[in-house]
Amino acid sequence: MKYRIRCHLSQPEIAAAIETLAARISADFAHRDLMIIGILTGSIVFVADLMRKIALPHEVGMIQASSYRGTATSPGDLLIHLDAIPCIAGKDVLLVDDIFDSGQTIAAIMPRLMEMQPKSINSAVLLWKTARRTVNVVPDYFCFEIPDEFVVGYGLDYNNQYRHLPYLGVIEQLEDPT
């Protein structure tokens, strides 16, 4: 099977959106004790770029959560690992993920984080598939609303591939001539 990756959002478009989002977060969290918690593995590129653009002191931590494994293009059971999370008690937490698809990941993680007694929890995502939401939660911050297409690149993967792409693309299957 051969594939082609069609560019959906270019590297300059992503960089501009992150700059705008970081300015908004910087203003909203000015004079607050901000802790950014990224959700591995898909958000790692977004978290790295976002934290460099946020113009105020902040701490960073990562947790692991996964519902897409291997070649799956729809979510399975959500696995959450909070073992390595730094202390968030009394802090304003910004939970950062790559994509808000059904919303199940953020909806499942937020109550678990609330048990750790942060001052507040807000969420930020790079992408929001508004048509796929299945929970009564929406992201507080987002860069792009996108259609219901399976995207890769900029940290998002298909079978653990394509995370390295500096843009967001859609996988298109090419016709097999045989």
pLDDT by residue (tens digit) across 36-67? 999 988 999 999 999 999 999 999 999 988 76
Element (H, E) at 151: strand 151-152
Active site residue 148: no
CATH 3.40.50.2020 for domain 12-146, yes or no, is: yes
Residue 53 main-chain phi, psi, to 5 deg: -95, -15
Q: pLDDT tens string for the chain (178 positions)?
A: 678 999 999 999 999 999 999 999 999 999 999 999 999 889 999 999 999 999 999 999 999 887 655 555 555 577 787 777 899 999 999 999 999 998 889 999 999 999 999 999 999 999 999 888 888 899 999 999 999 999 999 999 988 899 999 999 998 887 765 5
Query: Looking at residue 100, what is its pLDDT?
Result: 94
Q: How many helices (H) and strands (E) does the chain have?
A: 3, 9
With left for phi above 0 and alpha for psi between -120 and 50, is residue 106 left, alpha or beta? Answer: alpha
Query: Looking at residue 177, what is its pLDDT?
Result: 57
DSSP 3-state of 4: strand
Query: Looking at residue 132, what is its pLDDT?
Result: 84
Q: Which of 92, 101, 140, 148 is catalytic?
A: 101
Euclidean distance between CA atoms 135 and 71, whole angstroms: 24
CB 67 within 8 A of CB 78: yes
Q: Which two tokens stand for residue 155?
A: 């940290």
Query: Looking at residue 71, what is its pLDDT?
Result: 54
**Where do we find the tokens 């082609």?**
4
DSSP code for 142: E
Query: Looking at residue 6, what is its pLDDT?
Result: 93
Does pTM surpass 0.85? yes
CB 127 within 8 A of CB 100: yes
